[in-house]
């Protein structure tokens, strides 16, 4: 009796994990996510891991999110010991056979002109746009601060585009 229950739980949990992975052609988009924002915030951020299982390079050139007016690819750089955001005007290269991660404190999607606070547990729809693969609909899960160890390194709170 225990084995069927364990199997059912295993299948259910696997389904949840698989449900947050998006595929298009040779690209696998894994766990798009965002963080909560305080009331009145005008910017948020989106993070994701993209794996290119193909033999040709692709490029993430943009996207959108239903909760924001704008979507920009940014990277963080250290200038004179200060972290600064810089837009990636030519997009982000996803080499063949490689995995690229957008994460706090590094390359990320800047969500500008957010229409309402991003709230934990309230996912929102988005789209990633690739040079070769085209538009890929995704869903961003929303996690609270402190969920990931790199939370302290995130510099988005005071960022103004």
The number of distinct structural domains making up the chain is: 1
Is position 4 within any domain? no
Q: What is the average per-residue pLDDT within 18-40? A: 90
Report pLDDT for 154. 39
Is position 33 within any domain? yes
Asked if the model's pLDDT at residue 13 lies above 80, the reply is no
* pLDDT class of 156 with cuts at 50, 70, 90: very low
Q: What is the average per-residue pLDDT within 111-140? A: 97
Domain range spanning residue 118? Answer: 22-151
Is position 158 within any domain? no
Asked if the model's pLDDT at residue 136 lies above 50, the reply is yes
Q: What is the CATH number of the domain that holds 85?
A: 2.60.40.1890
Cα torsion 43, 123, 74, 64: sign = negative
Cβ–Cβ < 8 Å for 107, 71: no
Q: Which residues contact 34 (CB under 8 A, 6 or more apart)?
A: 44, 45, 46, 47, 111, 118, 124, 140, 141, 142, 143
Is position 142 within any domain? yes
User: In the chain, pLDDT over 90 holds for what percent of residues?
Assistant: 69
Distance from C-alpha of 47 to C-alpha of 106, rounded to nearest angstrom: 10
Is position 121 within any domain? yes
Q: Is 20 helix (H, G, I), strand (E, B) or coil?
A: coil
Asked if the model's pLDDT at residue 12 lies above 60, the reply is no
Is position 1 within any domain? no
Is position 13 within any domain? no
Is position 82 within any domain? yes
DSSP-H helix ranges across the chain: 2-18
- pLDDT tens digit sequence for 50-89: 999 999 999 999 999 999 999 999 998 888 888 889 999 9
């Amino acid at each position: 009796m225990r084995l069927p229950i364990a199997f059912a739980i295993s299948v259910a949990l696997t389904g949840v994990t698989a449900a947050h992975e998006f595929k298009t052609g040779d690209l696998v988009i894994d766990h798009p996510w965002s963080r909560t924002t305080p009331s009145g915030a005008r910017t948020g951020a989106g993070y994701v891991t993209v794996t290119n299982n193909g033999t040709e390079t692709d490029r993430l050139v943009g996207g959108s999110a239903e909760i924001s007016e704008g979507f920009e690819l940014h990277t963080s750089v250290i200038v004179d010991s200060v972290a600064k955001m810089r837009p990636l005007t030519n997009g982000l290269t996803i080499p063949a056979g490689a995995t690229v991660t957008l994460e706090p404190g590094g390359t990320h999607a800047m969500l500008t002109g957010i229409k309402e606070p991003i709230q934990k547990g309230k996912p929102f729809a988005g789209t990633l746009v690739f040079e070769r693969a085209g538009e890929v609909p995704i869903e961003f899960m929303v996690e609270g601060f402190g969920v990931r160890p790199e939370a302290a390194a995130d510099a988005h709170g005071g960022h103004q585009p």
